[in-house]
Amino acid sequence: GNSVTQMEGPVTLSEEAFLTINCTYTATGYPSLFWYVQYPGEGLQLLLKATKADDKGSNKGFEATYRKETTSFHLEKGSVQVSDSAVYFCALDTSGTYKYIFGTGTRLKVLA
């Protein structure tokens, strides 16, 4: 079946460090891939997306590339800030439908 696997957190980094949060998926067909972010006390917000192989999604300094050969969609940022502290969720939409399958989330904590 379809699934998303994320690296376990929490991930603790110093400000300006490089961030990678790993995400791999299993899916039939050609899903779209998403990263959502959840700040404390708030709802999930769409951070970036990619709809086909080799697409790169980017937003607010974050990037992720849809790698079909490795079934991965790793989230990266070159220099994190304290304000990036949040929970990050990788998700896919099962091909041809509107249902999302989410990973379990990775908590990021950035220290000043």
Q: Applying CB under 8 A, which residues contact other proteins?
A: 4, 32, 34, 36, 41-46, 49, 51, 89, 91, 93, 96-105
Output the smallest distance, CB 49 to other proteins, in A: 6
Query: Whole-angstrom Cα distance, residue 112 to residue 110?
Result: 7
Question: Which H helix or E strand runs over 32?
Answer: strand 32-38
Output the smallest distance, CB 50 to other proteins, in A: 10
Output the smallest distance, CB 31 to other proteins, in A: 9
Nearer to other proteins by C-beta: 37 or 110? 37
Output the smallest distance, CB 89 to other proteins, in A: 6
Residue type, 63: E
Query: Whole-angstrom Cα distance, residue 34 to residue 22?
Result: 13
Nearer to other proteins by C-beta: 58 or 102? 102
Closest CA to 63 of 52, 77, 82: 77
For residue 67, give the DSSP letter.
Answer: B
Q: What angle do CA 53, 56, 35 make, to 5 degrees?
A: 95
Nearer to other proteins by C-beta: 17 or 65? 65
